[in-house]
Amino acid sequence: MSYDIKDVIFHFGVDGECELFGNGHINDTYFVYSTPPCILQKVNTNTFKEPVKVMENIKAVTEHISKKLEKDGGDMDRGTLRFLDSDSGVPYYITENGDFFRMYRFVGGAHSCDSTDDPMQLYYAAKAFGHFQNMLADFPAEKLHEVIVNFHNTKSRYADFKKAVAEDLSGRACNCADEIKFVLDREADASVVVDDIAAGKIPLRVTHNDTKINNVLLDDVTGEGVCVIDLDTVMPGSLLYDFGDALRSGGSSGAEDEPDLSKIWFDAAKFEAFTKGFLEVLPSITERELELLPFSVKLMTLECGSRFLADYLNGDTYFRTHYPEHNLVRARTQFKLVADIESKHDELMEIVEKAVNK
């Protein structure tokens, strides 16, 4: 460790002991026993090459939400993350060695869960993500930095996939001809949302871009969503990315790398619980966005699967793997979900209509 934790927290005007906290895989996180307690994070600058821009996005978004909470009588202490400025007057501190830190108030009386089979937890998480979208519906998304370029640009991701197939750097294409064909057969899907945004058919919005259920804090007593966390990937995009990615993970019957595909299907009941919560608090959603909600789950699942398969073809250079076929297993799991979502499209659309017309 090239930094002195006590010195770092001093620059945020805080005093207290620290210990490692949570199970995040990207940033180093510490709990600070201060009054009030805080969370200190060392941002991974290998992942986020321009951390100042990350923090400018986060600061703009959280301040916008805070103003909405104040206006509407919401919980200012728990409704959004509250970042502290360092003694330099900015919401971060950079050590002499270039280590990048930020600090925010700890949100007490709440917890996150990595996964769930409880429809109520999905419902409450969805309400939190929907509320997040609604509070930012009037924020000028074009003012945010694109901190990871083309992160959910599905046309760009598709081009990356085709390049991986053509180059076949690992010599593995012969092992996955069916999986490659599965993606190539769905080329038209990659253009739908991107083209609709460009044509103005879908509004450009502030999007979270990592809407796993563990990025919502749930109240310890009521179980309701308290606030959305892990805002590093907040960027301009489509709410369809957030909705679709949440259910890509939250709507599956099994783990992302389950090798037994008989255990994998898309759970319509989970879709219903999430959709109900999401739409209850999101009056700003448009007719075109509603129409594409089921498709968005398919699209984000297909995108994820194609990324796993591309990494397998490239020699496992991006995703961490634990055995040689790991990325191929992950891809097959995603493609099983895609096929099941396609077969259930009409059922899922009926669920959306029911939620709208309740």
Task: Return mean pLDDT, the chain.
Answer: 95
Domain boundary among 83, 106, 129: 106
Domain that holds residue 63: 5-106
pLDDT tens-digit map of 65-120: 999 999 999 898 899 999 999 999 999 999 999 999 999 999 999 999 988 889 99
Instruction: Give the Cα separation of 146 and 60 in Å (integer).
Output: 14
pLDDT score of 2: 65
* One domain, residues 73 and 123: no
* One domain, residues 230 and 288: yes
pLDDT score of 16: 93
pLDDT band at residue 3 under the 50/70/90 scheme: confident
Structure tokens at 283: 């009056």
* One domain, residues 223 and 80: no
Q: Is residue 114 assigned to a domain? A: no
* One domain, residues 182 and 215: yes
pLDDT tens-digit map of 274-317: 999 999 999 999 999 999 999 999 999 999 999 999 999 999 99
Q: Is residue 125 assigned to a domain? A: yes
Q: Is residue 132 assigned to a domain? A: yes
Q: Which CATH number characterizes residue 13's domain?
A: 3.30.200.20
Q: Give the CB-side neighbour count of residue 169, counting CA atoms within 13 A.
A: 13
Q: Is residue 112 assigned to a domain? A: no
pLDDT score of 111: 94
Q: Is residue 219 assigned to a domain? A: yes
* One domain, residues 76 and 140: no
Q: Which CATH number characterizes residue 212's domain?
A: 3.90.1200.10
Instruction: Give the Cα separation of 112 and 219 in Å (integer).
Output: 9
> What is the number of domains present in the chain?
2
pLDDT score of 197: 97
Q: Is residue 11 assigned to a domain? A: yes
* One domain, residues 32 and 146: no
DSSP track, 309-322? HHHHHHTS-SS--S
* One domain, residues 48 and 131: no
Structure tokens at 259: 């090798």
For the beta carbon of residue 12, count every other beta carbon within 10 angstroms: 23
Range with the poorest average pLDDT among 25-29, 94-98, 180-184: 25-29
| Residues 6+ away with beta carbon under 8 Å from 187 | 158
Q: Which strand (E) or helix (H) includes residue 119?
A: helix 119-135
* One domain, residues 250 and 144: yes
Q: Are 240 and 149 in contact (CB under 8 A)?
A: no
C-alpha dihedral, 310 to 315 to 319 to 325, nearest 10°? 90
Terminal Cα distance for the chain, rounded: 55
Domain boundary among 82, 106, 130: 106
* One domain, residues 329 and 233: yes
| Among 271, 266, 264, 270, residue whose Cα is nearest residue 329 | 264
Query: CA-CA distances (angstroms) from residue 43 to 24, 69, 92, 101, 192?
Result: 11, 27, 10, 6, 34
pLDDT tens-digit map of 108-164: 999 999 888 899 999 999 999 999 999 999 999 999 999 998 999 999 999 999 999
For the beta carbon of residue 339, count every other beta carbon within 10 angstroms: 17
Instruction: Name the burial class of residue 6, with classes exposed (0-12), middle (13-18) and buried (19+) by CB atoms within 10 angstroms of its CB.
Output: exposed
Q: What SS3 state is found at 181?
A: helix
Output the pTM of the full model. Answer: 0.93
pLDDT tens-digit map of 218-273: 999 999 999 999 999 999 999 999 999 999 999 999 999 999 999 999 999 999 99
pLDDT score of 173: 98
* One domain, residues 217 and 301: yes
Q: Is residue 111 assigned to a domain? A: no
Q: Is residue 113 assigned to a domain? A: no
| Among 18, 15, 13, residue whose Cα is nearest residue 28 | 18
Domain boundary among 80, 106, 132: 106
Q: Where are the beta strands (DSSP E) in 130-180?
A: none
* One domain, residues 74 and 178: no
Q: Are 106 and 39 in contact (CB under 8 A)?
A: yes
* One domain, residues 214 and 254: yes
